[in-house]
Amino acid sequence: MKLTKTVAIVTGAGRGIGRSIALTYAREGADVAIASRTPDELETLAKEIRALGRRVLIQPADVSRQDDVQRLVDRTLAEFDRVDVLVNNAGTIIMPGDLLGTTVDAWDTMMAVNARSVFLCSKAVLPGMIEQGSGKIINISSVAGLRGLPNREAYCASKYAVTGFTASLALDMKPHGIAVNAICPGAVDTPLTGVSRPGDEKVGWMQPEDIADVALFLASDDSRAMTGAMVEVGGWSG
């Protein structure tokens, strides 16, 4: 197993990519703290993780809120005594996505959930990672954080914020033995993508497990030479 004696936090873990990452990490030996705004989904996921013989901490949280994030990290440290891997997966998109159709509230929500949460969660785990001299931060961005997409101005802005944050933080954390990388998926068959592309045929779409496999690589020692990478997976299908 690739993640024996590893403690991971996964945000947005109730469904989709986050759920798949949490299960993949548990199968590979990690104990996992799972967070989302959907407690019922977390309970279901926790049962599956325990069935794999791993410990799990459930923490309902809105990770765009600083107090929720600090509670998540404090509880994880109290339960497991360390954080080795942080997966910043929580994200949202609000339609319509074109600029004239995007309200100020929609813009603020996407920036908060997609970008502010990455800042808050990373800042909360870094003191412990710096003290232990190791750690992995994996940010789930998007191909929308690598190039512009039509009718997605606010979403692209929030995901470009994630890739820029990743590149900068990787430079700062390299001397501390902490790797910071981003995964930039194309179309993945999740409830969130269903909102942004309703009615689309899912030809060529990836499954959450495809992204979880990349997240496993970045969490494991296999990626020991990587930091500051924007790993594009699958391109933009459709």
Domain ranges within the chain, ordered by starting residue: 7-233
> Position 42: which residue type?
L
- pLDDT recorded at residue 237: 47
Q: Which residues, 6 or more positions from 238, have their beta carbon under 8 angstroms from its beta carbon?
A: 187, 197, 200, 201, 203, 204, 205
State yes or no: pLDDT of 198 exceeds 80. no
Closest of 100, 203, 92, 202 to residue 151, by C-alpha: 100
Q: Are 222 and 2 in contact (CB under 8 A)?
A: yes
Q: Does residue 160 carry a catalytic annotation?
A: no
State yes or no: pLDDT of 31 exceeds 90. yes
- pLDDT recorded at residue 204: 82
- pLDDT recorded at residue 200: 75
pLDDT single digits (tens) 163-192: 999 999 999 999 999 999 999 999 998 887
> For the chain, where are the E strands, in sequence order?
7-11, 31-36, 56-60, 85-88, 135-140, 178-185, 230-233
- pLDDT recorded at residue 238: 38
Q: Which of 80, 155, 160, 165 is catalytic?
A: 155
Q: Are 80 and 7 in contact (CB under 8 A)?
A: yes
Determine the topology of domain 7-233 in CATH.
Rossmann fold (3.40.50)
- pLDDT recorded at residue 202: 79
pLDDT single digits (tens) 119-136: 999 999 999 999 999 999
CA-CA distance, 97 to 88, in Å (whole number)? 23
% of residues, the chain, pLDDT over 70? 96
Looking at every residue in the chain, the average pLDDT score rounds to 95
Supply the pTM of this predicted model: 0.95
